[in-house]
Amino acid sequence: MTVSNAATVRIRPSFRLWLEFGAIFVVTPLIMALGLPPAMIWSGLGGMLLVSIVLLSLSDGFSWRSLLTRPIVPDWPGLAAFVAATVAVAVALVFWLRPNAFLFLPRFNVELWLLILCAYPFVSALPQEIVFRALFFGRYGALFPNRHVAIAANAAVFSLAHLFYWNWLAVILTAAGGAIFAWAYQEKGSFPYAWILHAIAGQIIFTTGLGVFFYHGAV
């Protein structure tokens, strides 16, 4: 085998992974934002999850069990600080942008509020963490030159995946949240920790009233 042919062989797997990455984390979110009606958003999200599960299962060296054997909460002070900061930011944003929405669900629709608190960690946060943390870093993390670049890219594609809400606040908050969840997964080495942070963030958002910016038709 010549040197050029050997180089071609080495490049091909990376090129294939970049194609997969672009299709999942760039093209699919753009299709959901620009081409799918609200009633089809759940189908798009479900498709991303299904593809992610298949690709992870086929990835060399990946084990589903490894996601659960890592520390659940490796940083309790960090968790407490995250909760306090998220509550403070959410309350401030609600009073700034939609003061009438403050604590809307707990005050006027307790049943729906409790349903969201119970369902959000499993129906929304867990699937997103599988796609945007487990798949992203487990299959495509090596495409990036270092962890910092990978975390920044993860935050960017996580924000892009929420473009279908079509408001600036959702895009900015999910970029910040994506960076934090990626840090929890990559730097703290814990999928459960990233999942818990994500779940708590969503519960705070819908409790304080900021959830009005995270509603899109059937979602």
| 8 A C-beta contact, residue 62 and residue 56 | yes
What is the b/e burial string over 22-53, where b = at least 16 CB atoms within 10 angstroms of the residue's CB? eebbeebbeebbeebeeeebeebbeebbebbb
Give the pLDDT band (50/70/90) at residue 199: very high
Position 42 scores a pLDDT of 81
Residue 98 phi, psi dihedral angles, 5° rounding? -140, 70
| 8 A C-beta contact, residue 157 and residue 132 | yes
Q: What is the pTM of this model?
A: 0.91
For the residues 72-79, what does the mean pLDDT come to?
95
Position 78 scores a pLDDT of 96
Nearest CA among 57, 47, 59, 58 for reference residue 23: 47
pLDDT higher than 50, residue 186: yes
CA distance 106 to 9: 58
Position 125 scores a pLDDT of 97
Q: Tell me: the pLDDT tens digits for 93-124?
A: 999 999 999 999 999 999 999 999 999 999 99
pLDDT higher than 90, residue 178: yes
pLDDT higher than 80, residue 39: no
Position 12 scores a pLDDT of 66
CA distance 208 to 20: 37
Give the pLDDT band (50/70/90) at residue 60: confident
Across the chain, what does the average pLDDT equal?
91
Position 216 scores a pLDDT of 62
